[in-house]
Structure 1
């Protein structure tokens, strides 16, 4: 599926037509749409309709300078970067378009197209003896083009095609309907007329991706416009490669736009961008390639700045919580600028004077403060910060936790405090199991305190208090053994 959005020049260069038949290919038709779109789309016309109708060709030719401008545009785009004179390419395109007009007139004069109805559809689609595939395709599209001649607007044209083609899904003849529907959906106005718009750009992107991938459920189609359900139904049962490619192209273009994806808080917008990159990746390749990655990275760079960081840090009441959130974001976002900003932000926070007084909120419980530092150390150690930065910050956090433990005499109070020995031991065990202490000297101190408590004469009695049955006492000891192993105390 070729869903890579192309510039006007790239679209024209992908279809340097040298034969009449080249104009009828998907690439050729896209080039026609780019060059003549200024005339076609306001008239609700598609390249296929122009290529299969004498009336439409005359309409284009007689519309002032539109035909001349279209040829000149296509020629200039196609020779750009080459040594071919634009005048030579213009001459060749005029030769080919003249041949198209004369050929179309001869074909349709020999067999004038008739309107297609559900009753006449089988005869229109029937393969004739000795008829080449290209001739049959031309005849069917010419008949459908004639049928659409009096339909006003994109939605009306699509509705007619959807009604006629709904029973053909899976048949080779449906390829014609796929081509014509794809061209109706290619202009943004055509897509909106048929499918409508969601409340946000992000929802539009996700819906287009679902439709192009074949994962959209017909029952999820909106009630308005009614054509949306018809499109959902067709895509649920038919291959429609051209239509899916167009829908995917629209999704990529919207993903590269500048409007916010959501109307949610900035932190959720960032999460959406990160998740969208994953959603748009197929077999390890991001749809739209480097251009899409650059656009998404640019969004993240805008979202992560001195002007926005306070919105992202709402609820982070201490420097430690802010640094932790920055490190966690660093592990999910992408783009050099966004990553560098978070690295700078974290290092500047950790470099402020009297850090020990603000690294954790003094109003929080001691247990929370110790755990926050342990969690922050682990996040830094696992981060993709530059190696020297990571080592420096991790060492800093370890020292801050050690100082906090010394200043508050956390372990000493647990060893000599009130309450039973077993209760105090369980508090230490729980902290160790939760990874509250930084691995190394801090964790070793905590585990030693736990072992010292276990050596107390009254420990076993207090731990087994209330367990009168032999089996109950054995089970309680097994549970303790498991907890001690999880806390790496024994």
Structure 2
């Protein structure tokens, strides 16, 4: 199929960033191909960041205009002289209505829009709303200047010239709005919205005209929540796709207001609100105590009629994942547990938008930011002994997401069980507490071996705990004292098996030594001799049954004689 002239004049460049500069990786004809290559390249780990630029030829200028449409990963840390404003180039009034331009306008005018309780689309489709922004001081002029500065860093042209071009584009957009007003554009008025949509079916530029009608209608509703309610009252499952797209755009821009999200999804803790946002994005608020607006939104989201709204809700979650605000007031373990709750709450509709790898990467990054030396130091300072510190780290590991983050925890665990300064605590318990210390070592080792730490770390930490368990056994003569006690071989075997069943021995050398000692006592000729001296068959059978039960609980195979 022959490509259109517009398609021929547009291509997509994939760039990789490392060692402080961008490198062109590939030039492709379609956006999808470029995005796929960018994701593959970023996943290799060879680049700190990968971006896709849309290059569109401007015949009037005789040059290509660049627009960054995808960025994966992190670029270099900007210097204090850099502008953080997005360099979005708008050469015509139509360019102002692109998603990239709307995002740039929203960012540039954010404080003003919040104060006026307006959205970017309300300004773009209403002269009266534009005049409100224009009359609200110098913020609009400052926004134009900031956009111009960001753009000339790439073009090299004078700032004043770029400002003039931006203002010319704005004037052109206002002219289009005036012409539509003068031609008698449709109005929502008192009639049924569904009838208005039906009448507009055959109109040229119906999406633009309906957007103007909605922006005008919302001027009669004060506050973002009232506007949200009004837009929801106009929604129907059977609207034509083009009308649903327009409503979706207006609804999604209202949902960008964080105060509105707090109103329709009330919650005490931030994690509770994030779970509600995730549930709303999935369209699943059944049984939740939330206002009617949220329930109405959920029904349309569940039917996948509002993709832009879903994307904005996801952006709220992504924003919070990248801030320093704590999700709970419950310390590191609570924070990590909250991240796990959020991961579970997001579900397939959300993950399908973000991509499972990107979502997991964001959550892992948040975990990593929390696992800094200061926070871990404060976390461990609350535990006075090596055993309590190791217990707290294992509690944290259970909630930790990401192998790299678990490695950080493992490196804090290793010194607790290997440093000579801690050996006395582990291996020299009070005489009356030998059994308790053996059980503590075995209990901690079980948790280490059941954790999601890498096998090498499990082996090293678990092995160190086993070494200390064996030292206690030897230094306290645990087996020797039992062998010298005034009791029969069967009682000695039962005592050892009971200790094994009670978790007194770590896996490895300690347990192997205990099992060998128990088997040695059971191999003593006097062992069976005592069983055979039972007063009657019932007593003998009961003794054998008790011994078999102990063997099972201790995890030791019964000797053939039993």
Aligned length: 473
Alignment-derived partner of residue 122 in structure 1: 194
User: Could you list the per-position Cα deviations for residues 121-180 of structure 1 after superposition, in whole angstroms to 9, with x for gaps in the alignment?
Assistant: 112211646434xx1212222222222111111111111111221555895532222111
Give the equivalent residue in structure 1 for 2:387. 320
Partners of 2:467 and 2:192 in 1: how far apart? 84
Q: In the TM superposition, what is the alpha-carbon distance from 1:32 to its structure 2 partner?
A: 1.9
Which blocks of at least 5 consecutive residues in structure 1 are unaligned?
none
The structure with more strand, counted as a fraction of residues: 2
RMSD, aligned α-carbons: 4.4
CA contact (8 A) 1:161 1:181 kept: yes
Where does residue 158 of structure 1 map in the other structure? 228
Once the two structures are TM-superposed, the CA of residue 477 in structure 1 deviates from its matched residue by 10
Q: 1:238 to 1:340 in 2, by over 3 A?
A: closer
Equivalent residue for 2:368, pick from 297, 303, 322: 297
- Measure how far apart 1:20 and its partner are: 2.5
* Whole-angstrom distance in 1 between the partners of 2:499 and 2:70: 53
1:131 is aligned to 2:223? no
What is the match of residue 243 of structure 2?
A: 173
Query: Do 2:102 and 2:120's aligned partners in 1 also have CA atoms closer than 8 Å?
Result: yes
- Structure 2 residues without counterparts, runs of 5 or longer: 1-68
Distance change in 2, residues 1:277/1:229 (3 Å): closer
TM-fit CA distance, 1:262 = 1.3
Query: Which residue among 82, 91, 98 is the counterpart of 2:164?
Result: 91
Q: State the alpha-carbon separation in 2 of the partners of residues 265 and 402 from structure 1.
A: 36
Distance change >3 Å, CA 452–CA 301, structure 1 → 2: same
Residue by residue over 1:451-487, the C-alpha shift from the partner in whole angstroms, topping out at 9 and shown as x without a partner, is: 2333312465599987589xx99x9599669828943
Q: Secondary structure at the match of 1:12?
A: coil
1:42 corresponds to which of 99, 115, 133:
115
Match of 2:467 in 1: 399
User: Which of 133, 149, 153 is 2:219 aligned to?
Assistant: 149
- State the Cα deviation string for residues 11-38 of structure 1 (Å, max 9, x = none): 733x433333232233222222222334
2:222 is paired with a residue whose SS is coil
Return closer, same or farther for 1:241/1:342 CA change in 2, 3 Å cut-off. Answer: same
Equivalent residues of 1:300, 1:335 under 8 A apart? no
Please show how residues 448-487 of structure 1 align to structure 2 within 5 Å: 448-455=516-523, 456-458=527-529, 460-461=531-532, 467=538, 483=552, 486-487=555-556
Distance in 1 separating the partners of 2:293 and 2:536:
73
Match of 2:330, SS state, is coil
Considering Cα pairs closer than 8 Å and 6+ residues apart, tell me whether 1 or 2 has the greater RCO: 1
Deviates more, 1:39-48 or 1:404-413: 404-413
| Deviation of the 1:197 alpha carbon | 3.8
| Equivalent runs, 1:400-415 vs 2, <5 Å | 400-412=468-480
Instruction: Output one character per residue of 1:249-305: Cα deviation in whole Å (capped at 9) or x when no partner.
Output: 111222222232212355333433465467679454243956x64444222326743
Q: CA deviation at 1:375?
A: 3.9
Name the structure 2 match of 1:308: 379
Query: How far 1:336 moved relative to its partner?
Result: 6.7
Using the size of structure 2 for normalisation, the TM-score is 0.70
Q: Which residue of 2 aligns with 1:255?
A: 321
The 1:359–1:164 alpha-carbon spacing in structure 2 relative to 1, beyond 3 Å, is: farther
Work out whether 1:443 is the aligned partner of 2:516. no
